[in-house]
C-alpha cells in the first residue's frame, strides 16, 4: 500500500507519519531498538544522531531509524522492516562469532 504525506524539510519522519495517520511501530524512540526502522526506496532522510540499532552495512543499504530521522526533500520509504533488520544483525553477529571464535 502506498501513502503520501506532505511535509517540510527538517520534520521528524516518525512524528510526521504519525500525524498523517500512518502509525509505525516504535518502542525506544532513540534509535536503539529497530522497531521503527524503514528502508529508503527513493530520496533520503537525515539521522539526527547515530542509530545504535543499525550497523554501517545496514545504513549503507538504506535502512533508517525514523524515530531519529528528519525529512530532507522527497522521500519514499518502505515501512515495517524492523524484523528484517533484527535478522540481518543476528546473522552479522553470528558471522563475527565464527570469525573470532
- Residues at the site binding ligand FES, with contacts judged by CB under 6 A: 26-29, 31-36, 53, 65, 67
Sign for the CA dihedral angle at 25, 26, 32, 33 comes to: negative
Measured from the CB atom, is 7 or 12 closer to ligand FES? 12
CB of 85 to ligand FES, least distance (A): 9
Centroid of chain to Cα 1: 18
| Distance between CA atoms of residues 100 and 40, nearest Å | 32
- Report the nearest approach of ligand FES to the CB of residue 75 (Å): 17
Q: Alpha-carbon distance 5 to 47, whole Å?
A: 19
Q: How far is the CB of 43 from ligand FES (least distance, A)?
A: 19
Minimum Å gap between C-beta 3 and ligand FES is: 19
What does the alpha-carbon distance between residue 23 and residue 28 come to, in Å, rounded to a whole number? 15
Cβ-based nearer residue to ligand FES, 70 or 98: 70
* 3-state SS class at 100: helix
The residue among 53 and 100 lying less far from ligand FES, judged by its C-beta, is: 53
- Of the pair 18, 92, the CB lying nearest ligand FES is at 18
Amino acid at each position: 500500500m502506498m501513502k503520501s504525506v506532505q511535509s517540510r524539510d527538517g520534520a521528524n519522519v516518525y512524528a510526521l507519519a504519525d500525524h498523517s495517520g500512518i502509525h509505525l511501530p516504535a518502542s525506544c524512540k532513540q534509535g536503539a531498538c529497530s522497531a521503527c526502522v524503514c528502508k529508503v526506496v527513493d530520496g533520503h532522510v537525515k539521522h539526527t544522531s547515530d542509530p545504535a540499532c543499525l550497523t554501517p552495512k545496514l545504513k549503507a543499504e538504506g535502512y533508517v531509524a525514523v524515530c531519529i530521522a528528519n525529512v530532507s526533500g522527497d522521500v519514499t520509504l518502505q515501512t515495517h522492516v524492523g524484523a528484517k533488520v533484527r535478522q540481518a544483525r543476528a546473522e552479522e553477529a553470528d558471522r563475527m562469532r565464527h570469525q573470532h571464535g
